[in-house]
């Protein structure tokens, strides 16, 4: 028996989401309208950490770094937009390879001695944009929790564009 798993983004409205949840036998309250003062906008204290809201930017694998794994203007613009989102958690923003040989594509960012300043610059761009993300007349929002996802593509590595698996 084959099951279909539609992408969440394909569910066009709250009613479509409710219908899908019913199909799955899940009970979950769904709001038709989300207020800027709603539950997702409230702080969360967890395990000694404070998140100013419950919005998160999750890491993605970028394809727009330089061939030597450094950020380009497109990467800086993306991180600026992550900051402008006002999200309380920015977990990665980017999946950063721990070695050039472990990259999933030839333009994935890498972390190493030559990229410390680059990554610090991305973080500074993000924090500057975040500090300006609040509503006019309100104090600037508290800094988000910022993380960086480190990755190695192993058998899926394609650092030069062709498959170049690294298998132990």
- Are 135 and 52 contained in the same domain? yes
Q: Strand, coil or helix: what is 2?
A: coil
Closest by Cα among 153, 167, 151, 155 to 98 = 151
Average pLDDT estimate for 93-101 = 92
Do 151 and 97 touch, CB atoms closer than 8 A? Answer: yes
**Would you place residue 7 in the very low, low, confident or very high pLDDT band (cuts 50, 70, 90)?**
confident
Instruction: Give the number of domains in the chain.
Output: 2
Q: Are 47 and 78 contained in the same domain?
A: yes
Calculate the alpha carbon distances from 60 to 36, 63, 118 in Å: 26, 10, 18
Average pLDDT over residues 103-120: 94
Q: What is the DSSP secondary-structure string of 13-56?
A: SHHHHHHHHHHHT------SS--TTSGGGS-EEETTEEESSS-E
Do 87 and 65 fall into the same domain?
yes
Does residue 166 lie in a domain region?
no
**Separation of first and last alpha carbons in the chain:** 36
Looking at the fold, whether 27 and 83 belong to one and the same domain comes out as no
pLDDT class for 1, splitting at 50, 70, 90? low
> Could you tell me which residue, 70 or 9, shows the higher pLDDT?
70
Stronger pLDDT, 138 or 23, i.e. the higher one:
23
Note whether residue 127 is domain-resident: yes
Query: Within 13 A of 138's CA, how many CA atoms are on the CB side?
Result: 9
pLDDT tens figures, 16-72:
999 999 999 998 888 888 777 788 889 999 999 999 999 999 988 889 999 999 999
Residue 8's domain spans which residues? 1-33
Residue in 135, 143, 146, 124 with CA at minimum distance from that of residue 57: 146
Average pLDDT, the chain: 90
- Work out the percent of the chain whose per-residue pLDDT is above 90: 66
Output the pTM of the full model. Answer: 0.79
47 with 97, same domain: the answer is yes
Q: Which helix (H) or strand (E) holds 149?
A: strand 145-151
Query: pLDDT higher for 119 or 3?
Result: 119
CA distances from residue 39 to 7, 35, 106 in whole angstroms, order as listed:
24, 8, 40
Question: For position 2, what pLDDT does the model report?
Answer: 61
């Amino acid at each position: 028996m084959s099951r279909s798993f539609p992408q969440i983004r394909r569910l066009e409205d709250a009613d479509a989401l409710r219908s899908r949840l019913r199909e799955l036998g899940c009970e979950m309250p769904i709001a038709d309208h989300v207020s800027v003062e709603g539950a997702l906008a409230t702080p969360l204290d967890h395990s000694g950490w404070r998140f100013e809201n419950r919005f998160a930017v999750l890491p993605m694998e970028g394809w727009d770094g330089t061939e030597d794994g450094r950020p380009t203007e497109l990467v800086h613009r993306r991180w600026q937009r992550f900051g402008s989102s006002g999200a309380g958690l920015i977990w990665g923003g980017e999946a950063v390879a721990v070695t050039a040989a472990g990259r999933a594509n030839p333009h994935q960012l890498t972390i190493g001695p030559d990229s410390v300043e680059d990554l610090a610059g991305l973080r500074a761009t993000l924090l500057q944009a975040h500090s300006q993300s609040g509503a006019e007349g309100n104090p600037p929002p508290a800094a988000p929790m910022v993380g960086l996802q480190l990755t190695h593509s192993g058998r899926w590595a394609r650092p030069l564009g062709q498959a170049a698996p690294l298998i132990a």
